[in-house]
Structure 1
Amino acid sequence: MKSPFFQLLACLPFFWGAAGQATTLAPKKFLSIPLGAIKPTGWLFDQLMVQTNGLAGHEHEFYNYVSQTDWTGGTSAYSSLEEAGSYWFNAMVPNGILVNNSAINAKTSAFLSYVLSHQDSTGWLGPEVGTTKPRYLWGRYPFMFGAIQMTEFDPSLTNEVVTALYKFVNLANTMLRSNNTVGVEDWTATRWFDFVITLQWLYDNHPQGTASQALLIDTMERLKWTGVPWEKVFSKQFFPTTAVEHTPNPFNLPLTWHGVNLAEGLKALPATYRFTHNQSDLDTASQGWDLLFQYHGRPSGIYAADEYLAGLEAIRGTELCLVVETMFSGSFLYQVIGDPKFLDRVERIAYNALPGTLTGNMWSRQYLQQQNQIAARNMSTNPFANDGEPYSNVFGLEPNYPCCTVNHPQGWPKFITNSFVTTPDNLSLVQVYLGPFSTSVTLGSGNTVTANVATLYPFGDTLTTTLVSKSAFTYYVRIPSWVVGGTIAVNGAAAKPVAPVNGLQAVSVAAGTTKFVLQLPAPITIESRPHGSIAVHRGPLHYAFDIPRSQKVLATNARQPMAQDLEFDATANWQYAIDPATLKFTSSPPASGILPSPIFDSGLPPLKITVNACLVNWAVAAPTYAASPPTNPACTGVNTTITLTPYGSTKLRISEFPVLTKPL
């Protein structure tokens, strides 16, 4: 029996018209740089090493979801391609390469070799080979992303990978032609665009002639036809403006409002624009991004969906998979559309929401994080309307669905690999994310360029960039929207105010060595939140009250003692209202210039904001979560000063505060 969604599809006309009408792909505004050309340095390299030394870098050794096989034989290897192996492979390919971890690189190489060498004669990749199990397309898509990354890094793999992908494309096209829903179940119907992006990589880099190009575009069109109409999902007409648990879904497929599907679905319309050439696709993609954060956004940069869209309340949850997928989608949106709002948002997510839902040593992760989180423990009653798992905000190996255990490691590596792009003519290098990086590329006309960015950002305001180039060119660096009074000094000259155009500061670079220093100060800003509460920001960082906590070990993995489920409980008061007029920022950079490791843990970032506060009557809605912040509260305790620290370093926190109506 087909779902109501597919019954609806059968009654609709073909969306794009006769297959094969499009003949070319529209260009992107910026081009990505192959894996391995961009490296993290400084504290960011350390952060990636923390991830590598934590759960992400070791789960293949002990975690049953991905460690059932060594990928040298047996059908259990194929079972990993359903979701676990594909997710793991997609994340660990760039992770292993960026830190040059030989053990991880050997494992991903073995995974790739096994899957490709066991491709079915029909072209199928996956666990259904040799079985009667239905063939569903989606599970292969993250694997394809990983294979593309490996090919970018090691061009010797090109022939094998491209040949295998084309064999699969031919089969998939035949399946889609034979019946619009062959190979398509609910997850494939929502995530079809990931396959489209793979097809576009083949078209851009390995087109193999007119017939192959026509096949690729025809398959793109058919995938769009079989899938969720994202131009409708992200339209104002259908987009939900509140938590959706009591809202009928007009698409007869609840997964359209599933948080992770939406995070991935943000890529759909910029991907389809490349073959539809419809400006409306880009306009709606940009609008959908804005609607998500307007009606479901979080001060930590992300949006709420505790399975499905969850509105603005501070106790509703955000899934870890959603965090990393939104980061990846934001990078893709910028490369196609060119609006710097995507970059500002991704940077906020990376430096707040991502580390905020992992322990500092990155051995334990949550399924759902909260803005106001007063405990992380078994929730016999929880505020997550669509997620009944009581362990959802425990920090652990698998506190709920296992997807986030294997998928979360893509966050930092893909943030790093998308931190630089080039202009479409390949004549200019563009730094789009700020942090400590190095890169080495060859631009047009054989212009070899290296860039080294030394900085503590976002834990400092100064970035020193040293460029070495064979020829003169124009370098661009993003100036975030929150910067006020920023300056740039080139080759020791007097500092001048930055003057970005569409978010990018141009720097004229001569042949040889060029060095420039950016000062990017930012004021403390206040964000209005529900119930008259506020959130506090400075620059890319969101600030929270780090609730002192106790820790209890709930479980320890029998094969890896570092993998533990942890309960955190508050050991001090957290029911504070604040006087925003008294907010004061302080920075204490380390004399050594080296930040503590791991930086995203309690008390370690060298930044703080102090504020006058007092205790107020603030109810507990259930034993493990707070009620909404009280509106216009009165003090019930003495005046005091509390310290706010970067959200990403807190694990229990208050980050949406009630406001005192009478100044302290």
Structure 2
Amino acid sequence: MPSKRIILAAYLGVAQAVFHNARQTTSDLEPMTYHSLPLTAIMPSGWLHDQLNVQTQGLAGHEHDFYSYVSDSDWIGGTSYYSNLEEAGSYWFNGMVPNAYLMNDTTRIAQVQQFLSYVLEHQQSDGWIGPETGSKPRYMWGRYPFFFGAIQMTEADPSQKNTIVAALNKFVPLANSMLKEGLGIEPWMQTRWSDFIMTLQWMYDNNLSPNNTMLLETMQLLRTTGDDWIGVFQKENFPTIAVDNLTAPFGVLTWHGVNMAEGLKAPAAAWRFSHNQSDLDAAVQGWDLLFEYHGRPSGIYSADEYLAGLEAVRGTELCLVVETMFSGSYLYQVTGNPKFVDRVERIAYNALPATLTGNMWSRQYLQQQNQIAAQSMSPNPFKNDGPYSNVFGLEPNYPCCTVNHPQGWPKFISNAFVTSADGSSLVHVYLGPFSTKVTLSGNNQVSVSVNTLYPFSDTLTTTIQATKPFTYYVRIPSWSIGKATISINGAAAVAATPDSTTQLFKINAAEGATKFVLNVPADITLESRPHGAVAVQRGPLHYAFDIARNQTTLATNAQQPLAVDLQFEATVPWQYAIDPASLKFQNNPPSSGVLPSPVFDAGLPPLSITATACRITWATAGSTFAAAPPQSPVACTGANETIVLRPFGSTKLRIGEIPIMK
């Protein structure tokens, strides 16, 4: 099966732009605002540990056993187009390394070790990493996710570090010379140059190269031969509607959803060696423009292959979801701007689980805000993707999301805490159930345990143990500023008012034990959407009308019967308008204190919002998707009734953008 990358490049006739010269590089890197912790320094607990276990026992954890693009029989011997490091193996390795080590799963650890060993043992004499791919040209991009996985291997298992670093130091001079000669460059590599730059910066920051000048020069070469993301993120160039009939000023692949998700990192990565404020400004502006004109209440943005505007029926690719989460974490660590992690947290708790079945054995290619069926669609609302794209299955539309989606939860977990640039302070970034152990400056041994059901509860109880006093920070989400309270070591609760710029609340942690209870309540809020519809939010969760459904199995994988393609169809009316003044929050916490598993499945989260609603006239396109909502306010066609809105991530058929009743 040909790669999606090649299909699109051929279809769009994208010309390769080759540049042979790089301008003079600078002599140092700008420092990161925060430093990430090594893989396994942060571990999931509670419901989040269970969620990662569900992923491990689901499709993600079993791909190596049966899935042709990454199983042993395929990538050893290189018979598939996706074999080795062209795409699938590299994607799988990038996600499964943190998954395996965070679960301490010896089977999956052995699998990623086998993959790593095979790739490095087949490094070519000139430095090219991985087996040769026959007569196909050498293209670099497919190695970038592999590099991310290899870096995580050095963190989880330091005994691997020397071998991995030696391989990278052999590859970098080859990459440098290839770029100067215009080799290894193709359209997808030109959009995703920041991924390789991040690897080079990791080597530079950790003093792992004998030639820092070459690292800096290679960074500049990558930028010069790549697409101009700073130009893409200028207001006069950025598309404000679906791009179906527009011409891209910097090449249409910069408007491709997953390329955009990865390109979000580019201005910040470039700023570290350019020292240009305009690069840093573009990182923030690009993020803002993207979500203003293409954003979703679930936290993510729409791109059913290319940027798709605000209409609720348009799609969002699963690869895009996990890549945006990773980019947001990196952007926060570079800039310290809390807007990035506010949104990543919303994506993780809404858009990510919404596009997978609860048991995580089936996934979509595209999810929709208003999704009344998951089936082969006629007519097809997706302008550049197939009608099968919103079916839940093994590989609907394209295989890439099957092998790439496993990075979502593990990398969210491994970026949940960071340290200050000087290593003296610890920052709790993503709220949820975690534990961490870290050595801060001055050999201060610190451990932290966060006990919470968040985002299914407003309360987090944190216990800190430290050998020396230090400053601990916790992020107060934007939706709880002005409402959050904290009780430290049993004292009366007081307002948890964060710094206005960083959204961080400062706690002076003592030698020994410090315990605090943080409460982060939120109001129900309404987000205005097209046609006068509204999206209902409370705290980190988006709420939608969960449409009851029936299920039909369309296909079953011959090697793995749990890997199935599923069709969902509505079994109840979904054409409702609501009275926004009637919304009431409902919390039914589990008596055991333990959430059901898998929590992101129909009816299982303990939170809901009730609404007074009425039936309305709302057209469909064929029988497969809802047309745009009728303009609000909408006349009722039936009596008032009460409907229940549930967390978006637990819904598989839903109305997330709801009309308002007259």
Same fold by TM (over 0.5)?
yes
SS at match of 1:82: coil
Corresponding residue for residue 133 of structure 1: 136
Q: Which amino acid aligns with 2:220?
A: E
Equivalent-residue separation in structure 2 for 1:366 and 1:308 (angstroms) = 17
Corresponding residue for residue 89 of structure 2: 85
Q: Which amino acid aligns with 2:573?
A: N
> Once the 2 structures are TM-superposed, how far is the Cα of residue 362 of structure 1 from its aligned partner?
0.3
Corresponding residue for residue 461 of structure 1: 458
Corresponding residue for residue 659 of structure 1: 660
Is residue 444 of structure 2 the alignment partner of residue 447 of structure 1? Answer: yes
Corresponding residue for residue 66 of structure 1: 70
Corresponding residue for residue 170 of structure 1: 173
Q: Which amino acid aligns with 2:191?
A: T
Is residue 229 of structure 2 the alignment partner of residue 238 of structure 1? Answer: no
Task: For 1:28-427, list aligned pairs within 5 A.
Answer: 28-69=32-73, 79-128=83-132, 131-179=134-182, 182-209=183-210, 212-251=211-250, 253-387=251-385, 389-427=386-424
SS at match of 1:156: helix
Equivalent-residue separation in structure 1 for 2:36 and 2:270 (angstroms) = 18
Contact 2:587-2:606 within 8 A present in 1 as well: yes
Q: Which amino acid aligns with 2:310?
A: L
Corresponding residue for residue 30 of structure 2: 26
User: Which segment drifts farther, 603-612 or 132-141?
Assistant: 132-141
SS at match of 1:66: coil
Corresponding residue for residue 585 of structure 1: 585
Equivalent-residue separation in structure 2 for 1:651 and 1:372 (angstroms) = 10
> Once the 2 structures are TM-superposed, how far is the Cα of residue 77 of structure 1 from its aligned partner?
11
Shift in CA distance, 323/249, structure 1 to aligned 2, threshold 3 Å: same
Contact 2:75-2:89 within 8 A present in 1 as well: no
Is residue 438 of structure 2 the alignment partner of residue 438 of structure 1? Answer: no
SS at match of 1:79: coil
> Once the 2 structures are TM-superposed, how far is the Cα of residue 206 of structure 1 from its aligned partner?
3.1
Equivalent-residue separation in structure 2 for 1:550 and 1:8 (angstroms) = 50
SS at match of 1:416: helix
Shift in CA distance, 7/69, structure 1 to aligned 2, threshold 3 Å: closer
Q: Which amino acid aligns with 2:324?
A: T
Corresponding residue for residue 553 of structure 2: 553
Q: Which amino acid aligns with 1:133?
A: K
> Once the 2 structures are TM-superposed, how far is the Cα of residue 380 of structure 1 from its aligned partner?
2.6
Is residue 469 of structure 2 the alignment partner of residue 472 of structure 1? Answer: yes
Corresponding residue for residue 488 of structure 1: 486
Equivalent-residue separation in structure 2 for 1:299 and 1:74 (angstroms) = 42
Q: Which amino acid aligns with 2:212?
A: Q
Q: Which amino acid aligns with 1:294?
A: E
Task: For 1:591-610, list aligned pairs within 5 A.
Answer: 591-610=591-610
Q: Deviations over 1:331-354 (max 9, x none)?
A: 000000111010110000000000
Is residue 531 of structure 2 the alignment partner of residue 531 of structure 1? Answer: yes
Corresponding residue for residue 4 of structure 2: none
Contact 2:17-2:225 within 8 A present in 1 as well: no
> Once the 2 structures are TM-superposed, how far is the Cα of residue 7 of structure 1 from its aligned partner?
6.7
> Once the 2 structures are TM-superposed, how far is the Cα of residue 6 of structure 1 from its aligned partner?
5.3
Q: Deviations over 1:293-315 (max 9, x none)?
A: 00000000000000000000000
Q: Which amino acid aligns with 1:467?
A: I
Equivalent-residue separation in structure 2 for 1:207 and 1:300 (angstroms) = 40
Which structure 2 segments of 5+ residues have no match?
1-8
Corresponding residue for residue 634 of structure 1: 635
User: Which segment drifts farther, 374-383 or 417-426?
Assistant: 374-383
TM-score, structure 2 as length reference: 0.96
Contact 2:120-2:130 within 8 A present in 1 as well: no
User: Which segment drifts farther, 28-37 or 58-67?
Assistant: 58-67
Q: Deviations over 1:402-432 (max 9, x none)?
A: 0000000100000000000000000001000
Contact 1:162-1:206 within 8 A present in 2 as well: no
Q: Which amino acid aligns with 2:241?
A: T
Q: Which amino acid aligns with 2:610?
A: T
Equivalent-residue separation in structure 2 for 1:69 and 1:143 (angstroms) = 19
Equivalent-residue separation in structure 2 for 1:380 and 1:306 (angstroms) = 16
Shift in CA distance, 77/40, structure 1 to aligned 2, threshold 3 Å: farther
SS at match of 1:601: coil
User: Which segment drifts farther, 377-386 or 582-591?
Assistant: 377-386
Shift in CA distance, 76/637, structure 1 to aligned 2, threshold 3 Å: closer
Equivalent-residue separation in structure 2 for 1:207 and 1:562 (angstroms) = 44
Shift in CA distance, 127/72, structure 1 to aligned 2, threshold 3 Å: closer
Calculate percent identity across the aligned residue pairs: 66
Contact 1:608-1:643 within 8 A present in 2 as well: yes
Q: Deviations over 1:194-248 (max 9, x none)?
A: 0000000111113444xx1001000000000110010001111110000001001
> Once the 2 structures are TM-superposed, how far is the Cα of residue 44 of structure 1 from its aligned partner?
0.2
Q: Which amino acid aligns with 2:344?
A: V
Contact 1:382-1:622 within 8 A present in 2 as well: no
Contact 1:79-1:126 within 8 A present in 2 as well: no
Equivalent-residue separation in structure 1 for 2:77 and 2:525 (angstroms) = 56
SS at match of 1:65: coil
> Once the 2 structures are TM-superposed, how far is the Cα of residue 80 of structure 1 from its aligned partner?
2.7
> Once the 2 structures are TM-superposed, how far is the Cα of residue 73 of structure 1 from its aligned partner?
5.8
- What is the aligned counterpart of 2:23 among 9, 14, 17? 17
Shift in CA distance, 640/78, structure 1 to aligned 2, threshold 3 Å: closer
Q: Deviations over 1:100-151 (max 9, x none)?
A: 111100000000001001100010013435x332111100000000000000
SS at match of 2:544: strand
TM-score, structure 1 as length reference: 0.96
Contact 1:486-1:498 within 8 A present in 2 as well: yes
Equivalent-residue separation in structure 2 for 1:7 and 1:489 (angstroms) = 59
Which structure 1 segments of 5+ residues have no match?
none
Shift in CA distance, 375/7, structure 1 to aligned 2, threshold 3 Å: closer
User: Which segment drifts farther, 277-286 or 417-426?
Assistant: 277-286
Q: Which amino acid aligns with 1:562?
A: L
Corresponding residue for residue 624 of structure 1: 624
Q: Which amino acid aligns with 1:243?
A: A
Equivalent-residue separation in structure 1 for 2:360 and 2:17 (angstroms) = 44
Shift in CA distance, 313/103, structure 1 to aligned 2, threshold 3 Å: same
Equivalent-residue separation in structure 1 for 2:318 and 2:114 (angstroms) = 27
> Once the 2 structures are TM-superposed, how far is the Cα of residue 517 of structure 1 from its aligned partner?
0.3
> Once the 2 structures are TM-superposed, how far is the Cα of residue 75 of structure 1 from its aligned partner?
6.4
Equivalent-residue separation in structure 1 for 2:312 and 2:382 (angstroms) = 11
User: Which segment drifts farther, 480-489 or 650-659?
Assistant: 480-489
Q: Which amino acid aligns with 1:136?
A: Y
> Once the 2 structures are TM-superposed, how far is the Cα of residue 495 of structure 1 from its aligned partner?
0.6
Contact 2:16-2:187 within 8 A present in 1 as well: no
Q: Which amino acid aligns with 1:307?
A: E
SS at match of 2:442: helix
Equivalent-residue separation in structure 2 for 1:112 and 1:516 (angstroms) = 42
Task: For 1:558-569, list aligned pairs within 5 A.
Answer: 558-569=558-569
Q: Which amino acid aligns with 1:659?
A: I
| Corresponding residue pairs, total | 649
Shift in CA distance, 307/127, structure 1 to aligned 2, threshold 3 Å: farther
Corresponding residue for residue 5 of structure 2: none
Is residue 426 of structure 2 the alignment partner of residue 429 of structure 1? Answer: yes
Q: Which amino acid aligns with 1:175?
A: M
Contact 2:325-2:408 within 8 A present in 1 as well: yes
> Once the 2 structures are TM-superposed, how far is the Cα of residue 68 of structure 1 from its aligned partner?
4.8
SS at match of 1:586: strand
Shift in CA distance, 576/51, structure 1 to aligned 2, threshold 3 Å: same
Shift in CA distance, 125/372, structure 1 to aligned 2, threshold 3 Å: same
Equivalent-residue separation in structure 2 for 1:320 and 1:423 (angstroms) = 32
Q: Which amino acid aligns with 1:186?
A: P
